[in-house]
Amino acid sequence: MNIALSNTSEKPIYQQLFEQISAQILKDELESGYSLPPIRQAAVELGISIITVKKAWEELERSGLIYTVTGKGCFVAELSPDERLQKRNEMIIKQMGDSASYYKSFGVTIEEVIELLKKIY
């Protein structure tokens, strides 16, 4: 698990954690059944509060990406490749929808968006 958190980012830390672990799961970097580090350990390693880690883990569980076995820990959910792809697309499209309406409000055409996007991607 490779996590990079930023204190100064506008995004809350628990969400940065959630997004990065989500991405790693849905990119197949973390396989089904993989055991996430215990909350306390993760908190120490990342230098953040236990509460913050817990919040991220909860969000992951709510999204069906991990499951908790009481007394044993948290594990990456069993997801078929199709399910992973679908969840990934859901997350991508949600973000994309917000961006798209933002671009549209400025009167930017889809062609322009694609052109700019190619430059910075």
Partner DNA sequence: GTGGTCTAGACCACG
Partner DNA sequence: GTGGTCTAGACCACT
| Residues at the site binding DNA, with contacts judged by CB under 7 A | 12-15, 36, 38-41, 47-52, 54-55, 57, 68, 70-74
* CA atoms within a 13 Å half-sphere pointing along the CA-CB vector of 52: 18
Counting contacts by CB under 8 A, is residue 54 touching its own copies? no
Please report whether residue 15 would count as binding its own copies according to CB under 8 A.
no
CB closer to DNA, 32 vs 41: 41
Question: How does strand 73-76 pair with strand 66-69?
Answer: antiparallel
Provide the token pair at 3: 């996590």
One-letter identity of residue 42: A
69 is a site residue for its own copies (CB under 8 A): yes
From the list DNA, its own copies, none, partner contacted by residue 38 (C-beta under 5 to 8 A by kind): DNA
Evaluate whether 39 touches 66 at the Cβ level (below 8 Å): no
List of residues 6+ apart from 62 with CB closer than 8 A:
none
- Rounded Cα distance between 1 and 38, Å, is 13
For 37, the 3-state DSSP assignment is coil
Q: How many residues bind its own copies (CB under 8 A)?
A: 40
CB of 66 to DNA, least distance (A): 10
Could you list the residues that contact its own copies (CB under 8 A)?
7-8, 12, 19-20, 22-23, 26-27, 62, 67-70, 72, 88-89, 91-93, 95-97, 99-100, 102-108, 110, 113-114, 116-118, 120-121
